[in-house]
Structure formats: C-alpha cells, structure tokens
Structure 1
Amino acid sequence: MGGGTVVSRVLIVGSAGTHSPEGRANVSRLVNAVRREAHGLDVADGYVDQQSPALAEVVRTTAGPRAIVPLLLTRDPLPLRAMIAAARLDPSVSVTAPIGPDWVLAEIGVQRLIEAGARPDDSIVLAAEALTDAAAVDDVSKAARLLSAVWGGRVHIGTLAGLDTGLDEAIDIARAYGKRVVVSSYVLTSGAAHDEMLACGADVVTAPLVPAGAPDQRLVGLVLARARSRSGWVTGEDGEHHVALG
C-alpha cells in the first residue's frame, strides 16, 4: 500500500471462539477493557468459530482502515488463516501478529503460578493446546523460555495433542525430578483445553491467562501495542494490507 502509513480508527479483536460460557464472558470483559483504553478508536470483536459475530461479517459491516489483532497465543494455523481470509475481503484491513508469545504473557503466567501456590522448587510444565504447525511449536518453545526467564527456573513443555511432547509425558518427565509438578496453563480462557489440563494429574494447575474478574491491564496494553506496532504484521500471499494504528 503506497502513500505512507494509513491510520486506522477501527480495531477488531479477533478470537478463535469457545463454547465455554465462562470463557466467553472473560473474553468479553477483555474486549470491553480494550475498548475503554483505546482512546479515539472504535473497537469491535469478531470470532472464527463457535461464537458470533463472525469475523468476516464484522469486516463486511465496518469501513475504513481496520486492524485485526488475533487473541491467539501462537501462530495457530487454522484460526490465523481464517483471520487472514477475512482481511482479504477488504484491502483496508490488516492482521497483526498474535498476542503470544510475549514477555507480558510470561509475566502474567508467573503471576498465575504464584496465585496457585507454586514454589521455587516445583517442577513447572507449560501446557499448551494441540499443536499442528511448526511455527506454533516454535512459539510455544519461546513462551516456555520467556516463562523460565521470568520465573527463574526450568520449564518443561507439554501439549494436549499434535506435535511436541504430550502433556502426560511431560508431567511424567517433570515428576522424575521428585518434586511437585505444577502446570502453567498457556491458554487464554476457560474451556475444553483448560478442563483437560485440570484433569492431567499434576499437583497444581494454574488459572488461564484471562481468568474470571477484571482483565489484567498488561494484557489490555499488549493488545493495543500489537495494533499500533509497525513490525510483525501477518500478511497474505501478496504481501500487502499493511495498516497501522495511530
């Protein structure tokens, strides 16, 4: 897109969607918190699946330069492709990098560990949803490194399915150290994935990054920072659709 930076006045918070009523409520509170802090910007939310409004419909019913910020913790290919496809409906729409991995999420993850009663001598396992793409595996590996750096100790990785080490196996490996095993839930909200983590057999399982109650202001700031960043945009095959928020 030529002619310099295009300033967007519409921020679309894009989510994968969930069946969980609690998870839906938590995401809604996060979107509302972003709306309160997005001074001068219109904020809309759209969903890839399981919830409405559909992201593509939000794109169709809004106008002008818009930026979609994926509420994704990795470059999860299915929802991310759907978001890119929605952006291609209008050349004035772009998709930013997902919110994860990021130092902010690592800081919140450590806060969840402390809230759950994790101790310095515990074995920590970062638990992620099913991974089916190498980029998502890389993102979870980075998330574990960031969590390890903030926590100050080793962090194992376990996934619910797909690529990388399964969560059950990761817990067995962590338990071999003869310590308590604490699962750090690398999921955004309550839902089926977090329910599986709660039933994994760990001694302690943390709350999601967005639990019930008021959203963490650091996460609100992260969403807005992604939207305003001029680096790390996700682009389509044509390499276009760059829109910056100002």
Structure 2
Amino acid sequence: MNPHPTRPALVATSHGTSSPAGRRAVLGLVEAVRRRLPDVDVRDAYVDVQSPTPDDVVAGLAGPAVVVPLLLAPGFHVRVDVARAASAPGCVAAPTLGPDDRLVGALVRRLLEAGTQDADVVVMASAGSSDPVAQACFEQMARDLSVAIGQVVPLGYVGGTGRPLDDVVADVRAQNADRRVVVSSLLMAPGFFHDRVARCDVDVVSRPLLDADPADPRLVDLVVDRYATASAAQGALTGTG
C-alpha cells in the first residue's frame, strides 16, 4: 500500500544535450532519484535540445508536481521554462542545485579522482551565463571550493559572459610556470561545454559532476532534498501537507 498516495510528482528538469554520454549521465541521476523515492512518480524533462519539455510533462500529470531543476544555477531557463511549467495549478518549482556544500564535496571528489596534488593550481570552469544571479552563484561555488581545498580558485567561463577560461588559465600559467594547472569542471555532464574545457591548455581536467559512473550519492541527496523542501512548502500552502 502506498503510504503517500498524494505525493506530488517530481519533474527532474535538465538542460538537455545532443551528447549521448551526457544524456546517459543525466538519466543515471534521474534513475537514482527514482530508486530513492519509490513512492513518487519521477519524470525527466528538458528545457532545450531534448524532449519532453517540463510544460509537456506537467500537462500530462493528473495531480500536483514539483519541478526540480537539475541545473547548477538560476538563469534564463529557470526564470522562463521552469517558472512557466511550475505556474500550472498544483505545481511548484524547487531551487536549482547550486550553490550547495554537497556540490562542493562532489567537485573535491572529482579533483581527487583526477590525481590533483597539493602543489597544483586549480581553476574552476563553468558554462557561464549572461544572468547576474547565475554568475553570482558560480562565483560563490568558486569561493566555496577555495575554502574546501585551501587555495584561491579563479573562475573562468566557456560560454555566456564573464572572463573566458582560456584567459584565466593563461594568467595562472604566467604566475605559476613550474606548477600543474588543473581545471575543476563545474558542469553537470559530458557534452559541448565539457569538450571545450578539455581543449584548454591545462594539465588535467576533472570529470563533470555526472558521467558513466553511478551518480554521486550527494547529488542524489541534493535532488531529493530540493523536492522534499518544495513539496513540504507546497503542502503547507494548500493545506495538504
């Protein structure tokens, strides 16, 4: 018997990618969330490149839903696509995944897996955004990673506005000619942006947060917590919690 017959559906909404590896990586996270929440209808949705859209998924549901952005920071797609889907009756949007200490923990894990050493210089790479709120979020995560690894981590972008990663790396190399440069990839999955990061003049690039391996349990926890918090707030507002 289902102990939560009216629990809202979870619409896990990612950006979308044409990369088969990227698609598998994101679906791996969605599947892990589905296993963690066996009494919740977990659906995948995409704001670009892939289908279905979150609007389409929400329209096909018979009950309430929580749209959880599998995105690292707020920006255009959150303000437009996610907000539009969540404006349907009985729906609500959860915050993006970042910033959060669990993301930082996953980034540190990736750096260790890549063989990063204490003498290395670490630079963070982000896809970037023209949205100032998103930029502030990326900058906060760079500061959080700086604290976690005990060195200042400059931030560079491979898209949107902000300082290009190539320029950041060039400056770091000029100031640290005898040290390896390692890029911490603040990207959700393999694809166009990670390919651009990999082409930078650096010694090591960490893997994106999601790839062929099982999703980091911290990321699964983060998605589940975003859903639970938004669902509880939704219940409080409607009197169904």
Would the TM-score normalized by the shorter structure come out above 0.5?
yes
What are structure 1's unaligned runs of at least 5 residues? 1-6, 234-241
Instruction: Report the alpha carbon displacement of residue 100 of structure 1 after superposing the two structures with TM.
Output: 1.2
Matched residue SS, 1:150: helix
Amino acid paired to 1:135: V
Aligned twin of 2:155: 157
Deviations 1:28-59 (A, max 9, x none): 11101100001421111111121122221101
TM-superposed CA distance for 1:218, in Å, is 1.1
Q: For residue 37 of structure 2, what is the aligned residue in structure 1? A: 38
* Per-residue deviation, 1:243: 7.7
Identity fraction in percent: 38
The whole-number CA distance in structure 2 between the counterparts of 1:196 and 1:136 is 20
What is the Cα-based RMSD across aligned positions, in Å? 2.1
Residue of structure 2 in register with 1:93 after alignment:
91
TM-score, normalised to structure 2, is 0.90
Q: Give the TM-score of the pair, scaled to structure 1.
A: 0.88
Higher RCO (C-alpha under 8 Å, 6+ residues apart): 1
> Per the alignment, do residues 91 and 50 of structure 1 end up closer, same or farther by CA in structure 2, a change over 3 Å counting?
same
The Cα of 1:194 is off from its aligned counterpart by 0.1
Cα distance, 1:190 vs. partner?
0.2
- More helix, by proportion: 2
How far apart are the structure 1 equivalents of 2:24 and 2:37? Answer: 20
Residues 84-106 of structure 1: per-residue CA shift (max 9 Å, x gap): 11222x12111110011211110
Task: Kindly provide the amino acid, as one letter, of the partner of residue 124 in structure 1.
Answer: V
- Out of 108, 111, 122, the residue aligned to residue 110 of structure 1 is 108
The answer on 1:60 being equivalent to 2:59 is: yes
Give the aligned length. Answer: 231
Please say if residues 168 and 200 of structure 1, whose CA atoms lie closer than 8 Å, have aligned partners that are also in contact. Answer: yes
2:74 is matched with: 75
CA 1:125–1:141 in 2, change beyond 3 Å: closer, same or farther?
same
SS at match of 1:229: helix
* Cα shift readout 1:8-31 (whole Å, capped 9, x = no counterpart): 431110111000000001111110
Aligned partner of 2:3 in structure 1 is none
**Structure 1: which amino acid aligns with 2:122?**
I
**SS, match of residue 162 in structure 1:** coil
Give 1:195 shift: 0.1
**Does residue 203 of the first structure (1) align with residue 224 of the second (2)?**
no
Cα 1:183/1:43, change in 2 over 3 Å: same
1:139 to 1:197, Cα distance in 2 relative to 1, 3 A: same
243 and 132 in structure 1: CA distance in 2 versus 1, 3 angstrom threshold: farther
The correspondence of residues 199-238 of structure 1 with structure 2, limited to 5 A, is 199-230=199-230
1:4 corresponds to which residue? Answer: none
Q: Which residue of 2 aligns with 1:3?
A: none
Distance of 1:72 and 1:143 partners within structure 2? 13
Q: Report the alpha carbon displacement of residue 116 of structure 1 after superposing the two structures with TM.
A: 0.7
